[in-house]
Each structure stands twice: as C-alpha cells, then as structure tokens.
Chains A and B, each alone.
Chain A
Amino acid sequence: EAGVTQFPSHSVIEKGQTVTLRCDPISGHDNLYWYRRVMGKEIKFLLHFVKESKQDESGMPNNRFLAERTGGTYSTLKVQPAELEDSGVYFCASSQDRASPSGEKLFFGSGTQLSVL
C-alpha cells in the first residue's frame, strides 16, 4: 500500500512568489492534516480536512495560505505571496477512523522543505 505522498520534496522560491504544495493521502483515508515545522520550533498543526470539508483551520497562519481538497482526494496548500517566515517543512498526514494493526492511526508524508529567499 502506498503511503502519504508529498510533492515537491524541496522548493526554493523568492519572496513574493507563489508556491503550491501537494499531498496525496493514503487511499480511503477521509482525514487529511497539514502541519508545519519552522526551523527550531515545534511541528504545528495547520488544518484538518474530513473528505473535502475543512473541519478545523485554526492553525492557518494568515490569509496568504489557502488549502483545498477538491473531491476529497488529494490536497493542495498554496502560499501566495510567500514571505521569508514561511520557510520550513510542511508535513501532510492522513488517517481513517480505525487504527492499523500496529496501532498507528496517523500516517505522515516525508514533508516538503520550503525555502523562501
């Protein structure tokens, strides 16, 4: 079974440009989460989708960030315009309501390293 896939793995852009990050959750997972780790700080929750609906977007930093999940499958996170403080690693995770045999419920992707210069 394929895991959570994130694209690109790295992105280097200039301040003011636009970047779109993509996340493909595990097939059948209704829940999709975005998290972000800014250098030296904790991994912070950004938002949570249940299928195509935003369940909780309390962690979104400001209106330069736009997340979508049309059709309830993959999700995109767009940053427009990007600022220096947006640099960090953006993680996507997905889950279904029941745990796997190992007890793991939340499955993460490898993250997208975003560098804004």
Chain B
Amino acid sequence: AQRVTQPEKLLSVFKGAPVELKCNYSYSGSPELFWYVQYSRQRLQLLLRHISRESIKGFTADLNKGETSFHLKKPFAQEEDSAMYYCALRPNFGNEKLTFGTGTRLTIIP
C-alpha cells in the first residue's frame, strides 16, 4: 500500500525567506508525485508534477528516490504563497486515483 507523509501541519515563514515543505512517500513501484495547492476560497489545483521538472510560481520539487522524498522549495517566499499544500502520489498506471498527505498550511508573514 502507498502512503504519503507531510510532517508539518503548519508552517510560518517570513516574506522573502526560503520555504521548504516536506513530503515523504512509501510505494513499492515507481510512482508519480505531485504537489497540489488550495488558496483561500479556491479549488484544489495542481502546482507541479515531478515528471515535468519545471518551476511553477517559483516553486520546485525534486524527486529523491533514495530518500523517497519530494520536498517543495521556494527560495524567496511571497505573501500570495499562503495556502494549503498537499503532496500526492499516483501509482504509475491507470487512472487518477491519488494518495494524498495530510497537507501543510503555509502562512507567509509580511
């Protein structure tokens, strides 16, 4: 069975400081990893996927298979980054049945 762990429920960071949201996973195969974000009063939306290896809104995440981690990073936090962030895993086959972590609420302090 797969599992996603986000150890921090809450994270507060000053504006301009670096941000790192932790995510660890367990899965026997080769999964796809995602970060989803939910801003206040908006829908849950995809932030980035490990296979695209791109930076979205200044965020990056590298899949580390040795450490089974997919931490989300941004060098300089902005106030608009305040949101709920979820790490998610999808087995590398079939449908969009995702396994999510418990989420981290990120608050950027002005």
Contacts and interface: CB of A to CB of B under 8 A. Distances in A.
Contacts of A35: 98, 100
Interface string A11-35: 0000000000000000000010101
A107 B45 CA distance: 7
A5 to B, nearest CB: 10
A44 B97 CA distance: 10
B96 A31 contact: yes
Interface string A77-117: 00000000000000101010000001111111111000000
Given A31-B95, A48-B95, A55-B95, A42 B100 contact: yes
Given A42-B4, A42-B103, A33 B97 contact: yes
A45 B98 contact: yes
A71 interface: no
A39 B42 CA distance: 18
B69 interface: no
B43 A44 contact: no
Nearest to A4: B43
A45 B97 contact: yes
A112 B15 CA distance: 31
Contacts of B98: 35, 43, 45, 106
Contacts of B88: 43
22 contacts: A3-B43, A31-B95, A35-B98, A37-B103, A40-B9, A42-B99, A42-B101, A42-B102, A42-B103, A43-B44, A44-B100, A45-B97, A45-B98, A48-B97, A95-B96, A102-B46, A103-B46, A106-B96, A106-B98, A107-B45, A108-B43, A108-B45
Interface of A: 3-4, 31, 33, 35, 37, 40-45, 48, 55-56, 91, 93, 95, 102-111
Given A91-B44, A104-B45, A110-B42, 13 more contacts: A4-B43, A33-B96, A33-B97, A35-B98, A37-B103, A41-B102, A44-B100, A48-B95, A48-B96, A56-B97, A102-B46, A108-B43, A110-B44
